[in-house]
Amino acid sequence: MLTKKEQRLRRARQTRIRIATQGVARLTVNRTNLHIYASVISGDGGKVLASASTAEVEVRKALGGKGSNVAAAQAIGKRLAEKAMALGVDKVAFDRSGFAYHGRVKALADAAREAGLQF
C-alpha cells in the first residue's frame, strides 16, 4: 500500500511527463503545513529561473508570520509572476505536484494569472 506522499508523487509524475513534451517553462508548487513554495523552471535545461516562498524573510514580515493561508498563497503567486515577467517568461505550464487544485494551490495559480502569467 502506498503512503500519502507516494500517492501524491505518483500523481505528479504523469503531469511532469506531459509538461516535458510541451517544452515550456513550468510553474511548480510545493505546499507544507507551514509554508508554500513556488518556482518557475525552464523547459529546456531544468534550471530554476525564479522562485518565491513564504519562508523568505521579507515575505514573512509582510504576512506577519502567517504562511499557511490563502492570502499568503496569493502573495506568493503575485510575487513569482512579477519575478518571471521581469525575466521575460510569460507562458508557463502549471505543475501542481500532485496536490489538489483547491485552496492554497488554486489561490497561488489565480494570483499568478492575474499578475500576467499565461498558463
Q: Which of 92, 93, 99 is nearest to 10 (CA)?
A: 99
Query: In the predicted model, is pLDDT for residue 46 greater than 90?
Result: no
Residues 36-45: what's their mean pLDDT?
94
C-alpha cell at 27: 510553474
Domain presence at residue 98: yes
CATH code for the domain in which residue 56 is found: 3.30.420.100
Q: How many residues does the chain have?
A: 119
Domain presence at residue 26: yes
Percent of the residues in the chain that have a pLDDT greater than 70, as a whole number: 100
Residues 14-33: what's their mean pLDDT?
94
Residues 17-31: what's their mean pLDDT?
94
% helix, strand, coil for the chain, step of 5: 45, 20, 35
- Supply the range of the domain harboring residue 45: 4-114
What are the pLDDT digits (tens) for 57-111? 999 999 988 889 999 999 999 999 999 999 999 999 999 999 999 999 999 999 9
At residue 70, the pLDDT reads: 96
30-34 CB contacts, 8 Å cutoff, 24+ apart: 30/97, 31/97, 31/99, 31/104, 31/105, 32/68, 33/68, 34/67, 34/68
- pTM score, two decimals? 0.93
Domain presence at residue 9: yes
C-alpha cell at 56: 523568505
Domain presence at residue 81: yes
Domain presence at residue 119: no
At residue 66, the pLDDT reads: 87
Domain presence at residue 33: yes
Return the number of other C-beta atoms located less than 10 Å from residue 19's C-beta.
Answer: 20
Count of structural domains within the chain: 1
Packing angle, helices 104-114 and 70-86, rounded to 10: 40
Q: Which of 9, 75, 3 is nearest to 37 (CA)?
A: 75
Domain presence at residue 53: yes
Domain presence at residue 62: yes
